[in-house]
Structure 1
Amino acid sequence: RPHAEERLRVFLETWREKQPKLAAWAEENLPEGFTVFGLPETHRRKLRTSNACETLNSQIKRRTRVVGLFPSEESLQRLVTAVLVEISEAWESGKSYLKPQN
């Protein structure tokens, strides 16, 4: 975690003047991702791959492609939220990807 925090500090120093919105967003949101460093190494190894993200993105893309053009941003958000809830429920009741430590 200290290494990630140092990398964020360097990133912010580099981009704060050139891209202030990006730097503000990174400073506010990226530290939430540092939570992963508190997990056991076996979990971190599985989370390192992008397979889960790629699957999630393909599911969202598949469902939004059917609609084509959304009448509003809110309608897009409602559909994507419904897809994410559906996927979350399937993950919660399905096979465990990350096994709890004893």
Structure 2
Amino acid sequence: MTHPLQFTGSREAIQLLAEHGFDGLAAALELLLNEVMKLERCEVLQAAPYERTEQRKGHANGFKGKTVHSRVGDLHLSVPQTRDVDFYPQALQRGVRSERPGKRGHH
């Protein structure tokens, strides 16, 4: 890609946590996951939104809403869609509507 992508979610997520503490955790996580999924789609497409490159694979094709039930509450996510290339965000599992068990750093 000719220019770096802008990741704006971290600043907004930090602000949510600073203002609302644990009550802002679900909203902050929603924001971060949505941004991460958009960045991942750009990597798969090998192009930023509206960028035309010879390396580009497929095209962005909007978003599909998905609710995931997690430990911090329901997360209302906007899952990026693509056209002409297979893509599904690594942070999610296809068809799963609740948080997948993950490895934790503590025992």
Calculate the TM-score normalised by the size of structure 1: 0.34
* Larger radius of gyration between Structure 1 and Structure 2: 1
Task: Give the strand-richer structure, 1 or 2.
Answer: 2
Calculate the TM-score normalised by the size of structure 2: 0.33
